[in-house]
Structure 1
Amino acid sequence: MRVHINQVCEGCIISKEVYSISHRPLIRKSTVLNQDLLQILRAFLIDEVEVEPFLNNGTAFKPAGASLVSRARSADNDSAAEIRQNTDFSVMYLQAVQAYKKLYLDWQSGALVDISKIRSLLIPAVENGLNQPDEIFKTYHYSKTDEYLYHHSVSVALLSAYLGKRLGFSHGDTIQLAMTGLLCDCGMTKLDQGFVSKKIALTDKEYKEIKQHPVYSYKMLKNIVSLKEAVKVGVLQHHERLDGSGYPLGVKTDQLHPFGKIAALADTYQAMISERPYRNRQSPFKVLEQLMQDEFGKFDLTALNELKKGLLKFSSGTNVRLSDGRKAEIVFVEDQYPTRPLIKVDETSEIVALKDHRHLFIDEII
C-alpha cells in the first residue's frame, strides 16, 4: 500500500525501494522503519512510500487520516496470488517471533517450557515456509537489533526445518528439527540479560558465561518427557563443530547427532547474516563463501550443500544488488565459483567477473 510519509510509523515495513531525487537507493525493500529512518525520509523530502499492510510485530498496519492509494503490484493473477501467499508467510513469521518473545520473557521469570505452546507458534510458520522455501531465506530482512534474539530463534527453526526436508528427513523429524532450532537459545534466559543484549563486543569473562547457554538450554529441556531426546541433544550440541573446535564439550564428528549438525549450521548462518547489537549483518552470499572456505571442515558438508543450493537458485538474467549498492544482472554462473558469477552492471553495462574482484560480492537478489 502507498501512504503519505506522515502516516507511516515505527515498525512499518518498506515494500518497494525508496529512491532519493538523484535516483540513488535510499531505503531498501523489506527494511523495518525506525525513528532514525523516518527522519531520513523527511530530510530527503520523500512524500510517499510503499509499505506492507502489516507491521513487523505481525499486526495489521492501520494508517490514520487520509485515504490510502493502493497499487496493484501486478496485473497477472498468478503474481497477485503469489504476493498474497508471501504476505501470509511474513505475517506468520512475525507473529511467531512475537509469540516466542512472550515465552522467552516468561522463561526469564521462571516459567517452565511448554511444548504445546512451542508447537502452536511454530508449526504453522514451518509448514507455510516449507511450501515457499524462498521466503525462509528472506527473514533476516525483518530482524531488528533490539529483538535480534527472538528473530534469530525463529529463523534458525525455519532454516533447520528446510535443511531437514532437503536432506530427506520425515515430516515428523522436520518438525522436531524446527523445535531444536527454536529452543537452542532458551538457556539465554538464565544469563545476565545485560550482556546478552550488549551493544559492544563481550569481555572474555562474559563470553565464557555465554558459552554455557547450550548447557542451560539442555537443563531446561531434559526432564520434558514429551520432547524427543534428539531435540535435547541437538540443542546441547548446536555450538559444537565437526573438528572439535566448538563448545561446550568439544565433541566432534561421529559424536555429533544429526540434529546438532543441522542446528549448528542454521544457527551460524542466521547469526552472520543478521543485524546484531554489536555487529552489522553480512551478505548471505559472502557468508556462504566463508562457510564453504574459511570454515571448511567445521560443518556437515551435505547440509552445507543444501544450504548452498537453496541460496543460489539464481541463473542468467537474475537481477542482483552488489555490496557497493549498484544493481546488476547475472550473465553467466561458473560451477567452480557459484557465488561469484559474471555480471553486467546496470548503470554502465560493464561486464564484471566477480571472481576477479574479491572486494565485491552479491549482497542480495532483487
Structure 2
Amino acid sequence: MRLIPVNCIKEGSTLAQALYDKDGRILLHKGVELNDGLLKKVEDSGISMIYINDEYSSNEIEDIIEPKVRIAAINALRETFTSFERNNQQLKGKTNSLKERQLLKQRDDYFHNLNSLTKNIVDEISSAKSVLVSLVDIKSMDNYTYEHSVNVAVLSLVLGTELRLSKNDLYDLAIGAMLHDIGKAFIPKDILLKKDPLTDEEYAIAKEHTTRGYSYLKELYSIPGPARIIALQHHEKVDGTGYPGGLTGNKISKLAKIIAITDTYDAMTSDKPYKKAVAPQEAIEYIMGSAGTHFDFEMAQTFVRKVVPYPVGTLVRLSNGDYGVVEKVVPNFPLRPTVKVIRQTAVSIKMVEIDLLKETNLVIEGIQYETPDLSVQTYLKKK
C-alpha cells in the first residue's frame, strides 16, 4: 500500500484504505477498483492523495488507532466546535437566563463527551509497546480543522509516550491537542480559507487564535489548566521567534512544545486552501533542521525517530538515479531504510538489496509516484 496523488493514479489500481466523507460516512470502500469516475468523486470531495495497492506495493499499513475511534473523535470535535460557534452567538446579550443555562449545559455535555473519547485514545496508544508513525492521515478540505486536530492528538501521544510522560500528562496533552485550534472559531472564515497570501493585517488577526482560544478555554473548568496553556503557546518557538509571547526555552510549556512539532508535521503533510501538502520526508527534514531553534531539540530528535516517511513497499528514487522498493525500515533511522534497487543493463534486469545505513554515499531523493520505465514496470509486476 502506498500514498499516491489522485492525479497520478492509473485506472485499475485498488483502494487500500476506506475513504470517508465529512460526516464520517463511507465514501469508497477499501478494495474497490478505481476508475476515472471514482477518482473524480474523490477529487470532488476535497481529497488529493489516497492509499492504493498496485503492482509495486500490496503491503498493509495499520493506523495507530482504530478507524472507528478516529471517526468518532472527528465527529465529536466537529459537534463541539459547531455547538460552540452557534451557542456563542446565541449567548450574546443574555445574562443568567434559562436559555443561557441550557446552552451552557449543552456546551459542557459536548466537552464531556470529547473528554471521554480522548481518554479512550490515550489508553489505546499508551498501552501499545512500540508505535511507529507510518501513515499520513487522509484529510478532506471540508473537514480539515477537525481531522487535523485529531491527528495532532494522535501524533502527540506517540511522542509523549516515547518521552515517558505520566498518564495524567498524556490526558492533558491529548485534550489540549484536540482543542489547540479552537480559537480559530473567533477568526473570520475569509481569512482562514484565503487562497492567496495573507496581508500583514490579516496575519495579525489569524495569530489571535492563540489568545482567543485560551481566553475561552480558561472559563471551562472541565478543561485542565495544562491543556488550556497548549492553546495559548503552541506557536511559541524555543528561540523566542514564535507568538503570542515570544517565549524562549523552559518558559514554554512542555506539552505545548510537543504540540508545536506535531502540529507542524501534520500541517505540512496536509493540503490547505493556500498550500499543497509536502511529502512526509520533507516535513521530517524541516523538523530536523529546526531542532534547537523552532523546536525543543530532544523532542524533535525523538519525534523523527518515530516517524517512517518511507513505509515498506514505498517506491523511491535514489540519488544515483536508481528506482527501488523499500524492503525494511530501520528503527531510529527513518531516512536510511533497506531498499531493493532495480538494476537494468542492456541484457538483464535484477534486484539488488541495498542497506542505506551502510551505503552512505546514497540518499533517497523522493517518493516515486509516476510509473517508471516500462521494462522496470514489467519486472516489478513479476515480483
- TM-score (norm. length: structure 2): 0.67
Q: What corresponds to 1:96 in structure 2? A: 73
Is this contact kept in 2: 1:58–1:92, CA < 8 A? no
Matches within 5 A, 1:68-79: none
Q: Which runs of 5+ in 1 are unaligned?
A: 1-15, 18-27, 64-72, 74-81
Which whole-Å CA distance do the structure 2 matches of 1:86 and 1:331 have between them? 18
* Inter-CA distance 232–59: structure 2 relative to 1 (3 Å threshold): same
Q: What corresponds to 1:67 in structure 2? A: none
Residue 313 of structure 2 aligns with an amino acid whose one-letter code is: N
Between 1:114-123 and 1:259-268, the stretch displaced more is 114-123
Deviation at 1:106, TM superposition (A): 1.8
Query: 1:329 pairs with 326, 329, 344, which one?
Result: 326
Deviation track 1:330-349 (CA, whole Å, cap 9, x = no partner) reads: 589798x7525574434754
Residue 326 of structure 2 aligns with an amino acid whose one-letter code is: E
Q: Which runs of 5+ in 2 are unaligned?
A: 30-52, 54-59, 89-103, 345-350, 370-383
Deviation track 1:214-261 (CA, whole Å, cap 9, x = no partner) reads: 101101111222322211122211000100000011011121111111
Secondary structure of 1:244's match? Answer: coil
* Inter-CA distance 86–334: structure 2 relative to 1 (3 Å threshold): closer
Structure of higher CA gyration radius? 2
Q: What corresponds to 1:289 in structure 2? A: 285
Q: What corresponds to 2:366 in structure 1? A: 361
Q: What corresponds to 1:226 in structure 2? A: 222
Q: What corresponds to 1:262 in structure 2? A: 258
Is this contact kept in 2: 1:86–1:135, CA < 8 A? no
Count of matched residue pairs: 309
Matches within 5 A, 1:1-366: 28=3, 46=11, 49-50=14-15, 52=17, 55-56=20-21, 57-59=23-25, 89-111=66-88, 114=108, 115-131=111-127, 134=131, 137-138=134-135, 140-294=136-290, 296-312=292-308, 318-322=312-316, 327-329=324-326, 339-340=335-336, 343-346=339-342, 348=344, 349=351, 360-361=365-366
Which whole-Å CA distance do the structure 2 matches of 1:301 and 1:87 have between them? 25
Is this contact kept in 2: 1:129–1:136, CA < 8 A? no
Which whole-Å CA distance do the structure 1 matches of 2:304 and 2:182 have between them? 28
* Inter-CA distance 210–174: structure 2 relative to 1 (3 Å threshold): same
* Inter-CA distance 51–362: structure 2 relative to 1 (3 Å threshold): closer
Identity of aligned residues (%): 25
- TM-score (norm. length: structure 1): 0.70
Deviation at 1:271, TM superposition (A): 0.9
Which one has more relative contact order, counting CA pairs under 8 Å at least 6 apart?
2
Which whole-Å CA distance do the structure 1 matches of 2:159 and 2:226 have between them? 16
Is this contact kept in 2: 1:129–1:135, CA < 8 A? no
Secondary structure of 2:241's match? Answer: coil
Which whole-Å CA distance do the structure 2 matches of 1:49 and 1:334 have between them? 29
Residue 119 of structure 2 aligns with an amino acid whose one-letter code is: I
Q: What is the CA RMSD across the aligned residues, in angstroms?
A: 3.9
Which whole-Å CA distance do the structure 2 matches of 1:302 and 1:294 have between them? 12
Q: What corresponds to 2:93 in structure 1? A: none
* Inter-CA distance 191–285: structure 2 relative to 1 (3 Å threshold): same
Residue 304 of structure 1 aligns with an amino acid whose one-letter code is: A
Deviation at 1:125, TM superposition (A): 3.2
Deviation at 1:134, TM superposition (A): 4.5
Residue 360 of structure 1 aligns with an amino acid whose one-letter code is: E
